[in-house]
Amino acid sequence: MKNHLGIHALVWTGSWGSKDIDFAIGSSAKLGFNVIEIPLLNPYKFNAEYTKQVLDFNKIKGVTSLGLSDETDISSEDSVIRENGAKLLGKALEMTYQIGSKYMGGVLYSALKKYDAPPTKNAFHNSVDIIRDLCHKAKKMDIMIGLEPVNRYESNLINTASKALEFIELAECNNLCVHLDSYHMNIEESNYRDPILQCGEKLGYFHIGENHRGYLGRGHINFVEIFSAMKEIDYQGTVTFESFSSSIVDPHLSNALGVWRNLWDDSNDLAKNAKSYMDSII
C-alpha cells in the first residue's frame, strides 16, 4: 500500500483565520503528513486564496469536508431547505477547487445531527438528485466527491458502507466514492473487513480514529484487520487521522459531535503519536 497520510485540521484549530491556517498547515507539514483535511465550516467566508498559498508554501495537499445543518439538509421534504443545501454544496465545491484540492467529502447527503425519526419516504432520492448534480459540476473540476457513512446519532440516511454504495448506484456518477471511518464502522458495521472488501474500488478516502476518538492504539479498534482488508483491495487512497477535543473544536460542533469528555488537550503530542502509529501499521 502506498497511501498519503493525512490529518484533520480540527486536531489543530477550531477556526480558520490567517493564524489558524499558518498553524494547522505548518504543523501538519512539519510532522510529515502529506494531506490536511480542511473542514468548510462556512464556505461563504472561507479564505481560499490564503489557504492555497500556505498549502503550496508547505508543500502539502489539502482536501475538504463538511456536514449539512437543518437549514441545508438536502434530504429534507422542504424544497427551500434542499435549495439552500444545494447552494452551500456548490459554494463548498468552488472553495475546494480554488485551493487546488481534488477531493471533497463528509456528510454531504443529510444534516449532521441526531434525527428523531427514520428518513422520510423521499429522503434518499431527494439527496441523490442534488448530489448527482454536484458530481456533474465536480467532474468538470476533476474533483472526487466522497460520502461518509456516519453512526445513527449523526445521520439517519447513510450509516453503513452498503447504504453508501446503494446511493452511489442510484446517482450513477463515476466521481462519487465511499469515505469510510473506523470510528463509525465500530458502531454500525458487523466487522471492519467486509465493508472494505464490499467497497472495493469505490473506497476513495478513509478516516482512521479510535473508538473513543482519542490517541491511536489506546482503544479497541482492530486496525490490523482494517489495513489487511485495504491491502486485499489494493487501496492506495488517503488515510486521514481524525480526533476531536472541546478544548480545540468550536463549541457548537463539539456539542453536535457529542464531545462530552476530552481525551487530549495537546494537539502536537496527539498528532505526533498518530503519525508514528500510522507509519508503523500502514
Catalytic residues: 148, 242
- Using CA atoms, how far apart are residues 255 and 246, in angstroms rounded to an integer? 8
Instruction: Tell me the CA distances in angstroms from 8 to 13, 38, 79, 80, 244, one per residue in order.
Output: 10, 7, 33, 32, 9
Q: Which residues pair with 68 in a beta bridge?
A: 111
**Structural contact between residues 188 and 221, judged by C-beta atoms closer than 8 angstroms:** no
Instruction: Tell me the CA distances in angstroms from 64 to 78, 163, 177, 237, 281, one per residue in order.
Output: 27, 22, 14, 15, 25
Q: What angle do CA 131, 136, 140 make, to 5 degrees?
A: 140
- Using CA atoms, how far apart are residues 91 and 85, in angstroms rounded to an integer? 10
Instruction: Tell me the CA distances in angstroms from 176 to 1, 108, 110, 248, 264, one per residue in order.
Output: 22, 11, 16, 31, 34
For helices 48-58 and 79-98, what crossing angle results, to 10°? 40
Place of cell 425519526: 117
User: 92: closest CA among 34, 137, 126?
Assistant: 137
